[in-house]
Amino acid sequence: MKATTGSGAGVLEQEIAVEQGEVTIMYERLDVLREKARGELGRVQVEETTGTDQARSERESFTDLFSGRFSQLSAVERGLCFGRIDETAGDRFHIGRIGLFDDDYNPLLIDWRTPVAQVFYRATAAEPLGVKRRRHIRLHGRTVVGVDDDLLDADAIDDGERSTLIGEAALLSSLSASRTGRMNEIVATIQSEQDEIIRSGLPGVLVVQGGPGTGKTVVALHRAAYLLYTHREQLGRSGVLVVGPNSTFLRYIDQVLPSLGETDVVLATVSEMFPGVAATAPEPAVAARIKGNLAMADVIAQAIAGFRVVPAEPIRLKVNQDELVLRPDAIRKAQQGALAAQPLHNRARPLFVRRVLKILTKQVVDRIGRQYVGDADIEDIQQELFDDDRVLELLDQLWPELTPQLLVSVLFSSDDRLAAAAPHLSASERSAVLRPLAADWTASDVALLDEAAELLGETADVVAGRKRRAAEDAAAEEAGREYAHGIVDIELTAERITIEPWEIEQFKDLIAQRTRVFNRPASSAEGTAYDRNWVFGHVIVDEAQELSAMDWRMLMRRCPRRSMTIVGDIAQTGSAAGVRSWAELLDRYAARRWRTAELTVNYRTPSEIMAVAGDVLAAIDPTLQPPTSVRETGTRPLLRNVPPDELPDAVRTAVKSEREHIGDGRLAVIVPASRYGEFAAVLPEVAHSHDPSVLDGTVALLDVAQSKGLEFDAVLIADPATIVQESDRGLSDLYVAITRATKHLTILGELPDVLG
């Protein structure tokens, strides 16, 4: 129940003053903590070190620790406190982005993720959960500018309290604010159905299905913050990965988690998930569909096998004076033997090499006569053969070492290899994916590279490098242990303490603890971007409907525990290789370990615009229901039939007039991908999508794929008919474009029937 205002402006001022008093104390405390972290950071940074590895590593660890703490405390400055709960039992507490305590550990502010804070989001008048009043507090900088009460238990409130009730809708005022080009956090106004998703348990896969604007993205990000807070021990080390549809989208959301005080999260698109590969080249939908199909896993395996050659005829090799012979069946046996012992191509290669060298060595020894040759001689002969260029060349022909990049680029540049590895593809399908050897990588290559890496195993160089680093790390750890022992010795000697044997055990733990701190691995947020073997504690996938079956296969490898949050909307699927059914996908990877939740209220798009979107949705699938809009604006969308030759002028004029309307808000012009260049030429002064700061300007020109997940005060769609025609999922694309608007929608061009 919304509270009715007590006795007008006087009460409001009085209540604002009450809250200001409390909020000022919180900020003072925040300042103290921040200064402390800054002081500690400054101290470790200027501290002279002895220059040993140990001292450096200790200093780096503390620098990480204090700078992490400092940036967390800085990130929560805006809107530090946003709510208050008055319990029926008499207690009252404030809720904010982080927890703060005074010197005596009395809470000044409770973190929104604690169990105690849950009632702030869940209590309703029908079910008050022990809360009589929920107060929303609005800050501007450090100043309280508004309070807004929900009266949840009218019987529990006394007359004095009743006179201090303030009424105003916090949610609606936040929804109608102008957009800034960056997503904002919503901790102050999380709704009950959203809160259930945010606090849902860590294990298993949670699928959040919901129409456009229902808060899927923002809820998923708050869930990341909640999980990191609640399961810090478990997730702090392994980290959380958030996968988004494109880099513009990642920039759009990248402030949300830091503003919630969380910095240990990796944001990535699927295209960035293979280390060292920048997959930026565009790709026709038909190629993306073929390469995203699960059948590609077999194709990659077959392609690798195709590089292991068994010749039809015996191979004769002249080494020194000897002619050595390798028969096809011996080669085949050597290959089979190596693979039986080690299935990964690159890892099995040394076993194959050893077997072949053994066969050749035996032939040399037989020529000389076994009785003249000792074991050491045999080793020498083998080594000599191994050093011979002709032998090496032969071994490379029979079983080359392969990198994933080499395999995938050769496969897609050779019709013969592709035909052999992918017999299910027709000649025209093959020609759709064939390309020059040195072609740039596309997004759908990434999962194939990952598959190849999985089946190839590391090359000998990589293995040697890893072993070298492991040896260096072990040496550093040993040095660390000695150092810690040294410190304890010095401390003991200085204090002339005699210690008992049981105490030594305690010191051992202390030493082990310190050593761990000193040699702490790079935080998950830094470490992961470079290591495809990294396993995340939790993976969040946004716009999940866009991922192909091969993308999912790759992602599942990054999360063997299957602790995931998948958010998406099947009706918005634009990718030809995208998901058509959650059950089909998840029964394969997480049978009986996945659950669904649904979001039903649209917080973005007003009902007038949703009416237009609803017609498009009905054309996609008449059984689908659009989400219910939470607000209306009183402004009807403008749909105008414009002949093709007048469209450029009409778009220019519309941009000009929208610009005047939106003030400091944002406008997106959404155009068909195939006509992006034409419209970019018509609108040279607006921000274009290749510009990383495309969302910072007032007007952004985007195609539909680039607008996924974003929102703008006003949206202008040009040439909807081409958007519908240019892809198999054209109607879904139009649906996505329409639902990006928070206030105003204009559609210009030839109008397809569905907009009739």
Ligand X SMILES: Nc1ncnc2c1ncn2[C@@H]1O[C@H](COP(=O)(O)OP(=O)(O)OP(=O)(O)O)[C@@H](O)[C@H]1O
Nearest approach, Cβ of residue 652 and ligand X (Å): 28
Q: Return the number of the residue (216 or 744) whose C-beta is nearest ligand X.
A: 216
State which residue, 73 or 731, has the beta carbon closest to ligand X: 731
Three-class secondary structure of residue 541 per DSSP = strand
Q: Could you say whether residue 191 binds ligand X (CB under 6 A)?
A: yes
- Considering the complex, state which of residue 128 and residue 212 has its C-beta at the smaller distance from ligand X: 212
194 binds ligand X (CB under 6 A): yes
Residue 538, strand partner residues: 240
Q: Please name which of 389, 405, 387, 408 lies closest in space to residue 397, comparing C-alpha atoms.
A: 389
* Sole window of 50-58, 78-86, 189-197, 642-650 interacting with ligand X (rule: CB under 6 A): 189-197
Whose Cβ is closer to ligand X: residue 245's or residue 749's?
245
Tell me if 26 contacts ligand X by CB under 6 A. no
Shortest spacing between CB 706 and ligand X, in angstroms:
13
Nearest approach, Cβ of 424 to ligand X (angstroms)? 34
Residue 76 makes CB contacts below 8 A (sequence gap 6+) with: 30, 96, 97, 98, 259, 260, 261
- What is the spatial distance between Cα 561 and Cα 237, in angstroms, rounded to a whole number? 14
Residues 100, 110: Cα–Cα separation, whole Å: 7
Region near ligand X per CB under 6 A, out of 182-190, 234-242, 472-480, 584-592? 182-190
Contacts of 486 (CB under 8 A, 6+ apart): none
Taking the least distance from each CB to ligand X, the nearer of 183 and 235 is 183
CA pair distance 43, 198, nearest whole angstrom: 39
What gap in Å lies between CA 736 and CA 239, rounded to an integer?
31
Q: Which among 7-15, 24-32, 94-102, 188-196 is the span making contact with ligand X, rule CB under 6 A? A: 188-196
Binding mask 116-155 for ligand X (x = CB under 6 A): ----------------------------------------
Phi/psi for 151 (5° steps) reads -90, 115
Q: Is 606 annotated as a binding residue?
A: no
Structure tokens at 229: 């807070």
Residue 594 sits at the vertex; the CA angle it makes with 202 and 530, to the nearest 5 degrees, is: 60
The region of 149-157, 184-192, 292-300, 454-462 touching ligand X under the rule CB under 6 A is 184-192
Q: Which range of residues in 170-178, 238-246, 356-364, 461-469 is near ligand X by CB under 6 A?
A: 170-178
d(CA 404, CA 450): 7
**214 marked as binding residue:** yes
Nearest to ligand X of 299, 547 (CB atom): 547
Give yes or no for residue 195 binding ligand X (CB under 6 A).
no
CA angle 484, 488, 490 (to 5 degrees): 115
Pairing of strands 265-269, 628-629: unpaired
Q: How far is the CB of 599 from ligand X (least distance, A)?
A: 7
- Tell me if 613 contacts ligand X by CB under 6 A: no
Phi, psi angle pair for 471, to nearest 5°: -65, -40
* Residue 215 labelled as part of a binding site: yes
Under the binding rule (CB under 6 A), the answer on residue 175 touching ligand X is yes
Task: Please report whether residue 83 would count as binding ligand X according to CB under 6 A.
Answer: no
Question: Of 41, 190, 228, 277, which lies in the binding site for ligand X, with binding defined by CB under 6 A?
Answer: 190
Q: Toward ligand X, which CB reaches closer, 189 or 403?
A: 189
Minimum CB separation from ligand X for residue 168, in Å?
15
189 touches ligand X by CB under 6 A: yes
Phi, psi angle pair for 538, to nearest 5°: -150, 140
Q: Residue 566 interacts with ligand X (CB under 6 A)?
A: no
Closer to ligand X at the Cβ: 196 or 401? 196
At closest approach, how far in Å is the CB of 717 from ligand X? 15
Separation CA 405–CA 452 (nearest Å): 8
Binders of ligand X: how many residues, by CB under 6 A? Answer: 24
Q: In the complex, what is the shortest distance from the CB of residue 350 to ligand X, in angstroms, rounded to a whole number?
A: 50
Alpha-carbon distance of 35 to 659, in angstroms, equals 43
Measured from the CB of residue 604, what is the shortest distance to ligand X in angstroms?
4
Contacts of 416 (CB under 8 A, 6+ apart): none
Please pick, from the candidates 11, 18, 129, 171, the single residue that binds ligand X as defined by CB under 6 A. 171
CB 252 → ligand X: shortest distance, Å?
Answer: 9
Task: Provide the residue count of the chain.
Answer: 756
For position 174 contacting ligand X by CB under 6 A, the verdict is: yes
Q: Where are the beta strands (DSSP E) in 183-286?
A: 205-210, 240-244, 265-269
Q: State the minimum distance, in angstroms, from the CB of residue 81 to ligand X.
A: 17
Are the C-beta atoms of 165 and 8 separated by less than 8 Å?
Answer: no
Site for ligand X in 200-259 (CB under 6 A): 210, 212-218
Concatenate the DSSP letters of all residues of 576-605 into one string: TT--S-HHHHHHHHSTTSEEEEEE-EESSS
User: How far is it, in rounded angstroms, from Cα 524 to Cα 535?
Assistant: 10
Residue 460 carries which DSSP code?
H
Strands of the 265-269 sheet, one edge to the other: 265-269, 240-244, 538-541, 564-568, 205-210, 594-599
Segment interacting with ligand X, rule: CB under 6 A, options 21-29, 187-195, 226-234, 677-685: 187-195
Contact flags string 730-749 toward ligand X, x per CB under 6 A = ---------x----------
Q: How far is the CB of 542 from ligand X (least distance, A)?
A: 7
- From CA 688, how far away is CA 722, in angstroms rounded? 20
Contact 107, 26 (CB under 8 A): no
Residue 746 annotated as binding site: no
Instruction: Assess 569 for contact with ligand X (CB under 6 A).
Output: yes
Minimum separation from the CB atom of position 710 to ligand X (A): 7
211 is in an annotated binding site: yes
Q: How far apart (Å, rounded) are the C-alpha atoms in residues 242 and 544?
A: 11
167 known ligand binder: no
**Angle of helix 375-387 versus helix 345-368 axis, rounded to 10:** 120
- Contacting residues toward ligand X, per CB under 6 A: 171, 174-175, 184, 186, 189-191, 194, 210, 212-218, 569, 572, 603-604, 709, 711, 739
Mark the binding-site residues for ATP, compressed into ranges: 210-217
